[in-house]
A and B are shown apart, each in its own frame.
Chain A
Amino acid sequence: MSTTGKIDNTEKLNRIITGCQNGEEQAFSQLIDIYSTRCYGYFYRLTGNAGISDDLLSRLFVRLVQKIGSFKGGSFEKWLFTIASNIFNDHLRHEYRQRKLLETHAEQLATETEPRRSDGEMVDRLQQHIAKLDTDTADLILMRFYGELSFKELSELRGEPIGTTLSKVHRGLKKLRELMGGTDA
């Protein structure tokens, strides 16, 4: 990517964000065009479920309408993926509570709704192996990949030392590579 191209893109993005902050529907539509695929990929790889990813992506952009006024500059991706991560964590808490309620009220019902990761979809190998990572590590790896965030941004976002973030991502990707059955992809 050339420097001029990057500057052009940054200026274009800034104009779109300003439009969104002024409540322009067209600007939001452009933002959806730019980020929907990456954000959907992030949600899909974390949940392994298209239906849930659809729902989380919708929630993300509706929340963006409410929150765009609070964006004060800096890395938009970092800001966007912080919201995406919060939405995913809300979803996890909701699922956890639902499972607890089901366990309390009807154990049989709980077992019927438990396998939510695939819901009968064709799941690729990578998806199966990402599901084997702990949620925190998977979230970090996917946020870095789909948010195109640097380790510095990622550690700031998580409020943890950069060494901790590096170590978690390194360990997670190493495990993923081993599970995929190759020393190098």
Chain B
Amino acid sequence: MPNRNENLEIILCDFLPAAEAHEAAEVIASGERMLWENPAPAPSADLLADINAKVGAALHGGRRTASHWFGRVAAVCAAIVMATSILFLFSGDAPHEIAQPTLNAAALPAPGWWDDHVVEGMSAEIDRVLETMISISVEDCYIAGQKPEFDLAELEELELIAMSDDFWKG
């Protein structure tokens, strides 16, 4: 029986008269003795090996996530560079008209080839590319043999879809 360094009778005396506290302490002690004498089964060796493997995968998965973040940032930067290049390519006037970069970009006059509509369109395109990349990287977080970390509402929805499908299959 575990030693919890507590005197049940003294604790119970705060709530019950001494005689009742003694009796209640006896009930608790004998109840716990009963649990001690009827042990639950132990986990199997296969289960423990499986858990060790899952823990190992989760640990390596965690490390991979850090490199994934780096990859994600790099990919986002690449997407921005590409989108900016496309913007220059399709915006009519050649880039030679661009003013030389200065330290204060805000002070630059708007170049002749600048078109607000094109810029808005390209910004929307960049946002769309970013969203796509984030959704792809969520799929990448899947650890082998494990469900991805969806929240409860998502899981519930997935279950509902799966059950509805089975139901209609008969």
Contact = CB atoms under 8 A, between A and B. Distances in A.
A157 interface: no
B51 A170 contact: no
B55 A37 contact: no
Interface residue tally on A, bucketed by range: 35 or more
Given A106-B167, A150-B5, A150-B6, A44 B40 contact: yes
Interface in B32-88: 32-44, 47-48, 50-52, 54-56, 58-59, 62-63
The main secondary structure of chain B at its interface with chain A is helix
A66 B58 contact: yes
Contacts of A149: 4
Interface in B114-170: 146, 152, 155-156, 159-160, 163-164, 167
Contacts of B92: none
Given A50-B41, A61-B54, A170 B24 contact: yes
Contacts of B11: 151, 162, 166
Nearest to A45: B40
B30 interface: yes
A77 to B, nearest CB: 10
Contacts of B35: 126, 141-142, 145
The main secondary structure of chain A at its interface with chain B is helix
A177 B159 contact: no
B15 interface: yes
A97 B30 CA distance: 37
A119 interface: no
A57 B31 contact: no
Interface of A: 1, 23, 25, 28-29, 32, 36-37, 40-41, 44-45, 50, 53-54, 57-58, 61-62, 64-66, 90, 93-94, 97-98, 101-102, 105-106, 124-127, 141-142, 144-145, 148-152, 162-163, 166-167, 169-170, 172-174, 176-177, 180, 184-185
Given A29-B52, A54-B43, A176-B31, 8 more contacts: A29-B55, A32-B52, A40-B40, A62-B51, A102-B163, A126-B34, A174-B31, A185-B31
